[in-house]
Chain A
């Protein structure tokens, strides 16, 4: 128990004599009165004297108490709540402070930044006291301890703390708690060592809602130090930037900027999109707790410039080197977090797909599956036919889509190249005319491991059954059949004689089967394979009426688009603090001739570049900062990556730490403490002045009641 203004309390205690003085001074001076019936008065006095004495004592006590209570109220008497964290004392203590340095901690109202308060609070917990060993872990997407282990060098820890700055990352609670648990494990100490964990954060509901609190070791006293803004934290943020239509060279394009409104009121946001020196503005209307969209139209000269205006480093002379790189920014946003008002983006231009057909068939043969597919794809120069017996590894590695048809048994090298291809996002289309073609799928499945698993098992050739099969159970609401939705009757009439009989596989994903035959066999399968997709067309096109159908070419083109869509239209984005693993397009350049240019200051390393069988691979354990990272080979921009913070980090709504306490069970020593906006520790203490005031009033009222009681 302590007081904020001791002088007031001392004054109050001195003033306790006031009621006595008032009693003595205000006591009426009796008027002398000779009286004949004093005997009756004497009896009355005798009868009431004890009561009067009691009354006087009680009134004096009540008055004195009222004065003391008022003095204590003015002195702002408070009690420190029983703290789980021993700030004082000399008991050996290991204290880990998890300091949230995520982007949301940059929120500020007026001049008070949340992170400043958090740092001040963290400093308070590592202030020197005897027996204390401590460490601070700066937590965002990664948990970075300031010292390697807990230390008694608390002064050094405070110095290191001064250099900690918030990062444009989201908080990974699991990583933070794991780091703390690991730190505790490294510092077991003796049995009498107190272990304390202080978590200083704004406790965003998006990060803490499902916090794995079970990671905190048993016996550790936990304090949640809440430092977030109080009284509502309205925030606007650029959550995403993407192309509305897939940008193509020489054509106007549209970019949609998604603005998140993390407040309870409708907001209007002015958005500026800057690409190179050009700037475009749009407005987004954002309903409460929803996002609005601002669409920016780019003229043809912007979208059509080789390499795009954002590609200042060399510009590039190849049309497929183009990227739309820039930033979308909110103008004059009245919110508490400025860090999320700007978001970089890097959108690649759509380019023609490079398609490779692996087939052992004579290219001069016609009316075969390979022939029909080749013709459906247009047979232009971007479609190459490779014989598996004479593989061109470079050509295969540079492909976006590999069609395997009548390829026979593929060699192991080819399988390995295909696995690498899917690992960097390439896709496969396998036509299973016979059961032999299935062997290649099984080999691929074995080589990809968990990255590729077919939903069905193949049991034999369908040809042996004789009767032609027809499609049924076509998922017309999804690609590739979505564009053919009005012609499903035609699809149902198509007959297939070849193909393979399949049966559903235990544990397989039935949603990957987009069409089935009337015998229950899968007709078209599209399933993830590595970072790309693998499609299985279970048909012998030569024995089918499908190629003769007017729907064939659209269906094949849509299927190819579906398989290669990941490479176009979307912004190339990475989350700050998260790892990056990019397979660069195959070229003649090696890792030595490849470099990454990051956003300013740009003087630090941006991961590593390594030569791989499929080309150069850019690997970064954790993206250090937000901005656009450009990868150049020679003078050519081959890849761009926009690093930003996840949009959920912009939602500043705090979780209720009291609910977090429940995650520890009743036995755990857990408490919640709030650092107020003013920076003082209002919540750590229990303020008594309202109760003291009330008690003083009650005392005075009791005095009045007492007087009335005794008078009656």
Chain B
């Protein structure tokens, strides 16, 4: 597969180091095409699942003649069907995702998310699975419908390149907007820092997808300097979203801040667990490839 020309977020050479690792999912999927993923449909695949009494009109090729001879009753063998994967990536493009650190410069959270999104798209399309991209900008912004071609990957990369941070973002609304567009069960991967005013609304929106048995993966992107205030005598902290300002000495507030932030992380984590979502903490200090590799290894079990 050729990389999308000019896309800085798709680093194929780096991703090739992952070898034959691929995204695997625990839940049965529902895809339009045959693929390598277990489908909710029962079909003619190799893996035997069960016997079922023959119903007139069924394909006689699935009839188990040995059982018929032994029992004098027609039974058909049921095999697991395999289908392709539909992975929808929702990218949070709020301005808070632009933070790239002060003393310890890394990629911004948004860039890191974009790298991850591109890599995910690459991995998914490499397996002939379909990937869709949704951008949360205020509400649902850009949306790339599922596709599995190289061209589709290139378009996704273009979309990632063209992402403009939105001063405000409402992931819950974006999820609600996205829901009608996703008709089949699949995987929903959310790349966000979850710095939202109403976290409960986000998980309420996610319940929509839960009902459809989506496998939801939350990638909580955090910059190291978010976890602890930067060292220094005094800072004028300017909010990236609402532009409010607080001047203070980090030393005086460090403990309270760290407490509050870790509480926020715990809250996201616990709400994800409660909602049946897969939660993963992603630090921008860790190369995204490593993050991805760990995730693939973990999912492969």
How far, in whole Å, are A52 and B251 apart by their CA atoms in the complex?
12
The reply to whether B226 and A37 contact each other, CB–CB distance below 8 Å, is yes
Contact of B246 among A27, A28, A29, A41 (CB under 8 A): A41
Given contacts A711-B251, A711-B252, contact A38 B236 (CB under 8 A): no
Q: Which B68-119 residues have C-beta < 8 A from chain A?
A: 95-99, 102, 109
Tell yes or no: B239 within 8 A of A by CB.
Answer: yes
The reply to whether B246 and A33 contact each other, CB–CB distance below 8 Å, is no
How far, in whole Å, are A34 and B102 apart by their CA atoms in the complex?
9
Interface of B is mostly: mixed
Residue numbers in B under 8 Å from A711 (CB-CB): 251-252
Interface-side segment among A43-51, A79-87, A120-128, A343-351: A43-51
Given contacts A39-B195, A44-B253, contact A33 B247 (CB under 8 A): no
Number of interface residues of A (CB under 8 A): 24
The reply to whether A35 and B252 contact each other, CB–CB distance below 8 Å, is no
How far, in whole Å, are A288 and B164 apart by their CA atoms in the complex?
103
The reply to whether B238 and A27 contact each other, CB–CB distance below 8 Å, is no
Residue numbers in A under 8 Å from B97 (CB-CB): 36
The reply to whether A40 and B257 contact each other, CB–CB distance below 8 Å, is yes
Residue numbers in A under 8 Å from B257 (CB-CB): 37, 40-41, 44
Interface-side segment among B36-44, B122-130, B148-156, B227-235: B227-235
Tell yes or no: A30 within 8 A of B by CB.
Answer: yes
Q: Which B235-254 residues have C-beta < 8 A from chain A?
A: 235-242, 244-249, 251-253
The reply to whether A28 and B249 contact each other, CB–CB distance below 8 Å, is yes
Most A CB within 10 A of own CB, among B97, B102, B253: B253
The reply to whether B238 and A38 contact each other, CB–CB distance below 8 Å, is yes
Interface of A is mostly: helix
The reply to whether A33 and B235 contact each other, CB–CB distance below 8 Å, is yes
Contact of B193 among A27, A33, A35, A36 (CB under 8 A): A36
How far, in whole Å, are A34 and B249 apart by their CA atoms in the complex?
15
Residue numbers in B under 8 Å from A605 (CB-CB): none
Tell yes or no: B46 within 8 A of A by CB.
Answer: no
Residue numbers in B under 8 Å from A210 (CB-CB): none
Tell yes or no: B260 within 8 A of A by CB.
Answer: yes
How far, in whole Å, are A39 and B195 apart by their CA atoms in the complex?
9
The reply to whether A30 and B195 contact each other, CB–CB distance below 8 Å, is no
The reply to whether A40 and B246 contact each other, CB–CB distance below 8 Å, is no
Most A CB within 10 A of own CB, among B232, B235, B236, B237: B237
The reply to whether B226 and A36 contact each other, CB–CB distance below 8 Å, is yes
Tell yes or no: B33 within 8 A of A by CB.
Answer: no
Contact with B along A32-71 (1 / 0, CB 8 A): 1111111111111101100010000000000000000000
Tell yes or no: A31 within 8 A of B by CB.
Answer: yes
Tell yes or no: B264 within 8 A of A by CB.
Answer: yes
Place the interface of chain B in its size category: 35 or more
Contact of A35 among B240, B260, B264 (CB under 8 A): B240
How far, in whole Å, are A44 and B256 apart by their CA atoms in the complex?
6
How far, in whole Å, are A685 and B261 apart by their CA atoms in the complex?
62
How far, in whole Å, are A43 and B256 apart by their CA atoms in the complex?
9
Q: How far is the CB of B240 from chain A (nearest CB, A)?
A: 5
Q: Which B175-203 residues have C-beta < 8 A from chain A?
A: 193, 195
How far, in whole Å, are A28 and B98 apart by their CA atoms in the complex?
27
The reply to whether A44 and B260 contact each other, CB–CB distance below 8 Å, is yes
Residue numbers in B under 8 Å from A29 (CB-CB): 234
The reply to whether B195 and A35 contact each other, CB–CB distance below 8 Å, is no
The reply to whether A40 and B261 contact each other, CB–CB distance below 8 Å, is yes
Residue numbers in A under 8 Å from B230 (CB-CB): 33
How far, in whole Å, are A495 and B245 apart by their CA atoms in the complex?
132
Residue numbers in B under 8 Å from A44 (CB-CB): 253, 256-257, 260
Q: How far is the CB of A38 from chain B (nearest CB, A)?
A: 4
The reply to whether A41 and B238 contact each other, CB–CB distance below 8 Å, is no
Residue numbers in A under 8 Å from B99 (CB-CB): 34-36
Q: Which A4-43 residues have C-beta < 8 A from chain B?
A: 27-43
Most B CB within 10 A of own CB, among A27, A36, A41: A36
The reply to whether B237 and A38 contact each other, CB–CB distance below 8 Å, is yes
Given contacts A36-B99, A36-B241, A37-B195, contact A30 B235 (CB under 8 A): yes
* Additional A-B contacts beyond A28-B234, A42-B244 (15; CB < 8 A): A28-B233, A30-B235, A30-B236, A31-B236, A33-B102, A33-B237, A34-B98, A36-B98, A36-B195, A37-B96, A39-B195, A39-B239, A41-B253, A48-B252, A710-B252
Between A and B, 17 residue pairs with Cβ closer than 8 Å are: A30-B235, A31-B232, A32-B238, A34-B238, A36-B195, A36-B223, A36-B240, A38-B239, A38-B240, A38-B246, A41-B257, A42-B244, A43-B256, A43-B260, A44-B253, A44-B257, A47-B256
